[in-house]
Amino acid sequence: MNRALLIIALSLLQHAPARAEPGFARPSIVHLLPPALQEISGLSAAGAQAVYAHDDEHGIVYLVDLKDGDAIAYFAFASPPIAADFEAIVVDGEIVRMVTSDGLIFEGRLVEGGVADAYAAYNAGISDVCEIEGAASDGADGLLLACKTTKGAKKRSRIAIHHWRGAARFEPAERIIDADVTKAWSALSDERFMPGGLERLTDGSLIVVDAASAGVCILRADGSVERMFRLAPESHPQTEGIAAMPDGSVVFADEGGKGAGRLTVYTALPN
């Protein structure tokens, strides 16, 4: 990928009508994404009206405008782009990190429309006990990592969160939350809750989404369950990413399967 050519205009995103099934929250904006983001995975806020996004196979970061739905290829760690099973992106100032399902953390300085001058890769050291599906900033210099599957969970609905500290990059991530949400979730679904995306709010609480059912769990900072609810399943075929925006709205990313990937914006989540 040539540095000068990294910014490429993609076709305009199509706009889908915002609708909700009875009993579910109503989204305010829905954008159907171009083919490059059909298998969209992670999200991270990029200012007030945009998000960074990526697919689950290549280390290319796209910038998506939430006002008009335009998307451009924005950044890559290397040329050619790194191929891996990317599950999450966290951008904090000039630092961008992308996380793979087996716990590799790629870190570099965000270069607008270019390729990183250099990048590093670290191992979270938890691949034997955790398949990572989501990541969020810890509010300092590290990451919170959400496990889709956890060794020993069996058929219970559990949310396991590990903490990878930026100040101790070469040490394994430590499990800091292990919440059994089986009882709370069983009132909403017969299926097992399996985390597919993670976001941290400014008060320290966490949003965890189940990819298959559009189930959402809000955890308090201490790991206890505040509430659980479901988004409209027809609007969320496979939810993979979450971004909390400065105005309090929340953006969800869904893989398209045989159709288009999508971004769905909610001005607020159900109480």
The answer to whether residues 33 and 71 touch, using CB atoms and an 8 Å cutoff, is: yes
pLDDT in tens, 130-154: 999 999 999 999 999 999 977 666 6
CA distances for 198 relative to 26, 109, 141, angstroms:
21, 22, 17
Q: In this model, does residue 67 exceed pLDDT 70?
A: yes
Q: Which ranges in 94-166 belong to alpha helices (H)? A: none
User: Residue 10's pLDDT band (boundaries 50, 70, 90)?
Assistant: very low
Among the four given CATH numbers 1.10.645.10, 3.20.20.220, 3.40.50.920, 2.120.10.30, the one describing domain 3-14+32-257: 2.120.10.30
pLDDT in tens, 197-223: 999 999 999 999 999 999 999 999 999
The answer to whether residues 90 and 128 touch, using CB atoms and an 8 Å cutoff, is: no
Whether this prediction's pTM lies above 0.85 is answered by yes
